[in-house]
Amino acid sequence: MNITIIGAGYVGLVVATCFADVGNEVVCHDLDDDKIARLSRGEVPIHEPNLAPVVTRNRLAGRLRFTTSDALAIGHAGIIFLAVGTPPEGDGSADIDHVLAAARSIGRLMERPLLIVNKSTVPVGTADQVRATVAAALAGRGVDIPFDVVSNPEFLKEGMALQDFMKPDRIIVGAESAHALGVMRQLYAPFSRNHEKFVAMGTRSAELTKYAANAMLATRISFMNELAHLAGQLGADIEAVRLGIGADPRIGRQFLSAGIGYGGSCLPKDVRALIRIAARHGQHLRILRATQEVNDAQQHLLFERLASYFNGASALRGRSIALWGLAFKPDTDDMRDAPSLVLIRALLAAGATVRAYDPVASGQARRLLVAEHGEARCAASVLFASSAQEAVEQADVLVLVTEWQEFRSPDFRYLASTLRAKAVFDGRNIYDRAVLDAAGLYYEGIGRTDDRQGRAAHP
Ligand SMILES: NC(=O)c1ccc[n+]([C@@H]2O[C@H](COP(=O)([O-])OP(=O)(O)OC[C@H]3O[C@@H](n4cnc5c(N)ncnc54)[C@H](O)[C@@H]3O)[C@@H](O)[C@H]2O)c1
Ligand SMILES: O=c1ccn([C@@H]2O[C@H](COP(=O)(O)OP(=O)(O)O[C@H]3O[C@H](CO)[C@@H](O)[C@H](O)[C@H]3O)[C@@H](O)[C@H]2O)c(=O)[nH]1
């Protein structure tokens, strides 16, 4: 089939690549000249494991093309996916301007019947708005060309995007016509071979399903983070509790890891957007508000622990804090809503300096911090190290922020010899207190047995 994807970001590029890889003729369109130029000459602008070779083989086979021309993109296919950004507005509502702008272009340029498939995460009722926008543009041209609008939210995770798309748990399709549903079934047949993954419903249910899924995931995380505080105070270990409850199939093992709060481009923004959607309908989503409140506090936890360890935030002035990991999770360079930024901002405000290392996200982090603090302040306060080892040299303490594979088994004796205050704060519970004790390092995790939580710990 001929398919067009509008938006070549973390989602659009993966969707375009995977559809091309199963034999479709795909055109991927973006407004960003630089992104399209890089993609057209074979560069993949995001860090996503295993994506680059699949982009390359499909590009070289001629099945995957990139363009900034909306006329070319819209003329290419009978199926057009919208995978543009839906960033948060000031009050947390999802901004669907990019979605509606793409819909207007389609209405202005389409010359034949179309299936318009929305993949962006959008408020309930957006499919109806897309339909109205396209219809208005057609009416403005004085033409009547049939089209359908389908909601097909995406559930891929960054860092695992290719396999999530190629082997999805479910394919949610909200459609109001049997014809649209039939085309979507055919399109997704290669990804749904071994068991039925296709779940058909109305467009509004599909739109809500996306928010409901992310809200549930966020709530599990906040629940575990809140429980971790209790575990720490009671002398229990949240990691043991996690294993214990995760063994119950009604609960399941995934998304129970306590840490420094959920971040990324989706969970924080989608929780806030769903709260706003409900508020507009007079509903106060109590559970979700608590989820967000716990998460906001959790993102500040490591700073509070550090302040407490040094006997007060004012004692952080002049301290050098090493950070391992900047991205909101491993295997991505995405810094959107990364908890590391909350920690860095607080450390800089307290007068500390930061030595940060991330295998791939340092460039994005630097851009964001320079935009916030200016080039000179950033250069004076944050060193972007080129290795994990360089980050800890001359640092007082180490904070593990992102659980990249390469941080899992460090030389603790080396850390004990190089860290001036000989302390490790583990924001992801990946280390074993006994091993650090043996190496002569002070250890604090999140809700671990014997966490002293910084109480007068530093001599
Ligand atoms: N990132 C994820 O893991 C993920 C997963 C599932 C769903 N989503 C949802 O998918 C959507 C896209 O997310 P993303 O992370 O890929 O965003 P992104 O910011 O990485 O990419 C969006 C792209 O759309 C382009 N764009 C904007 N308006 C355009 C227009 N009118 N025409 C052509 N291109 C246009 C931008 O230039 C950008 O390259 C969002 O609604 C997001 O919530 C994201
Ligand atoms: O047990 C856990 C699991 C995750 N996290 C944190 O939660 C955040 C989000 O992680 P994850 O969900 O793996 O990453 P995303 O790529 O943001 O994916 C989420 O958001 C996407 C965009 O909507 C959805 O498509 C995915 O299904 C959904 O998992 C990260 O900061 C993680 O560190 C935890 O703290 N504890």
The C-alpha atoms of residue 26 and residue 422 are separated, in whole angstroms, by: 54
Q: Which ligand is nearest to the CA of 269?
A: 1
The C-alpha atoms of residue 342 and residue 291 are separated, in whole angstroms, by: 18
pLDDT of residue 394: 92
Direct distance between the N- and C-terminal alpha carbons of the chain, in angstroms, rounded to an integer: 68
pLDDT of residue 192: 87
For residue 267 and ligand 2, the question of a CB distance below 6 A is answered with yes
pLDDT at residue 454 is higher than 80 = no
pLDDT at residue 1 is higher than 70 = yes
Look up residue 334 and give its two tokens: 């995405």
Give Dmax (Cα) for the chain.
79
397-410 pLDDT, tens digit per residue, is 999 999 999 999 99
Radius of gyration of the chain (CA): 24
Section 115-133 average pLDDT: 98
The C-alpha atoms of residue 88 and residue 55 are separated, in whole angstroms, by: 29
Q: Which residue has the tokens 């409900």?
A: 278
pLDDT of residue 455: 52
> What residue ranges do the domains of the chain occupy?
2-201, 202-459
pLDDT at residue 444 is higher than 60 = yes
Angle at 129 between CA 125 and CA 134, to 5 degrees: 150
pLDDT at residue 110 is higher than 90 = yes
For residue 272 and ligand 1, the question of a CB distance below 6 A is answered with no
pLDDT at residue 458 is higher than 80 = no
* CATH of segment(s) 2-201: 3.40.50.720
For residue 424 and ligand 1, the question of a CB distance below 6 A is answered with no
pLDDT at residue 65 is higher than 80 = yes
264-284 pLDDT, tens digit per residue, is 999 999 999 999 999 999 999
Known binding-site residue numbers for substrate: 155-158, 210, 255-259, 263, 329
| 8 Å CB contact between 141 and 106 | no
What confidence tier does 77 reach under pLDDT thresholds 50, 70, 90? very high
Section 63-88 average pLDDT: 97
pLDDT of residue 451: 75
| 8 Å CB contact between 427 and 259 | yes
pLDDT of residue 195: 74
Section 196-209 average pLDDT: 96
pLDDT of residue 272: 98
**Which residues have a Cβ under 8 Å from the Cβ of 35 and sit 6 or more positions away?**
8, 45
pLDDT at residue 348 is higher than 70 = yes
| 8 Å CB contact between 115 and 183 | yes
pLDDT at residue 107 is higher than 60 = yes
The C-alpha atoms of residue 432 and residue 445 are separated, in whole angstroms, by: 9
Q: What is the CB-side half-sphere exposure of residue 110 using CA atoms within 13 A?
A: 31
Known binding-site residue numbers for NAD(+): 30, 35, 86, 121, 158, 269, 336
Where does 318-448 have alpha helices with state H? Answer: 339-349, 362-373, 375-381, 388-392, 412-418, 433-439
pLDDT of residue 452: 63
Task: Supply the DSSP symbol for 314.
Answer: G
pLDDT of residue 273: 98
pLDDT at residue 330 is higher than 80 = yes
Decide if 378 is catalytic.
no
21-33 pLDDT, tens digit per residue, is 999 999 999 999 9
User: To the nearest whole percent, how much of the chain has pLDDT over 90?
Assistant: 96
Select from 121, 174, 186, 119 the least CA-distant residue to 148.
Answer: 174
CB atoms within 10 A of CB 377: 13
Q: Do 2-201 and 202-459 come out as alike in CATH topology?
A: yes
Q: Which atom of ligand 1 is nearest to the CA of 101?
A: 31
| 8 Å CB contact between 92 and 120 | no
C-alpha of 451 from chain center:
29
* Global pTM value: 0.96
For residue 327 and ligand 2, the question of a CB distance below 6 A is answered with no
CATH architecture label of 202-459: 3-Layer(aba) Sandwich (3.40)
The C-alpha atoms of residue 24 and residue 81 are separated, in whole angstroms, by: 13
CA of 311 to the centre of ligand 1 (A): 44
pLDDT at residue 45 is higher than 90 = yes
288-320 pLDDT, tens digit per residue, is 999 999 999 999 999 999 999 999 999 999 999
pLDDT of residue 314: 95
DSSP 3-state percent helix, strand, coil across the chain (nearest 5): 50, 15, 40
pLDDT of residue 161: 98
Task: Supply the DSSP symbol for 348.
Answer: H
What is the average pLDDT score of the chain? 96
pLDDT of residue 172: 98
CA of 401 to the centre of ligand 2 (A): 15
pLDDT at residue 37 is higher than 70 = yes
**Which residues have a Cβ under 8 Å from the Cβ of 256 and sit 6 or more positions away?**
220, 224, 242, 245, 246
pLDDT of residue 158: 97
